[in-house]
Amino acid sequence: MNRIVIHVFVFLGFCFLAATFSSAASAPDGTVKITSRSVSPGIGLSWGDGVLTYKGKDYSFTFQAKGLFREVDEKVTATELSGEVFNLKRPELFNGTYHKVDAGKTDVGGGSRATMKNSNGVTVNLVSAVEGRKFNLSRDGLSVKLETPKR
């Protein structure tokens, strides 16, 4: 009887640990907010800046993308994109070129989303809630660079 009780407690302990790791893995490590500053519709080039929030601190960054916005219109150039960051262990690992992993539409106001990943393994789920087609990452991806803090 004692062995059965011990086995039940061990089993419940494993279930608890599995649930803990599962929920921790799905929680984002940070968030991003990107504001497009300039878009060149004919060329398909855009550049701008944004803010990474990681462990309660804000880190400014710049980005440049080819093909980030296709079929650019006035709504797109003023739109803000935001998202969640996963697998980020240190802020500097946010730097790099992100390539599309997945793209599709969200139900939020008919907006669109894209999942991107860089060579450091950092994944960003980027969302725009403005109705209509907002952004589509090309093969060239999105190059991101954290700005050096001013002293």
How many helices and strands, by DSSP H and E, does the chain display?
2, 8
pLDDT tens-digit profile of 52-94?
999 999 999 998 876 554 444 445 555 567 899 999 999 999 9
Segment holding 7, helix H or strand E: helix 2-26
CA nearest to 46, candidates 147, 148, 136: 136
Handedness of CA 122, 102, 127, 75 (dihedral sign): positive
Backbone phi and psi for residue 129, each to the nearest 5 degrees, phi listed first: -95, 0
Q: What is the topology classification, in CATH, of domain 29-146?
A: Lipocalin (2.40.128)
Q: What would the pLDDT profile of 97-128 be if each residue is shown by its tens digit?
A: 998 886 555 444 556 778 899 999 999 998 87
Name the residue among 76, 90, 81 with its Cα closest to residue 63: 81
Q: Determine contact, residues 102/123, Cβ cutoff 8 Å.
A: no
Please give the Cα distance from 150 to 88 (Å, whole number).
23
Domain ranges of the chain: 29-146
CA 150, CA 82: separation in Å to the nearest integer?
Answer: 24
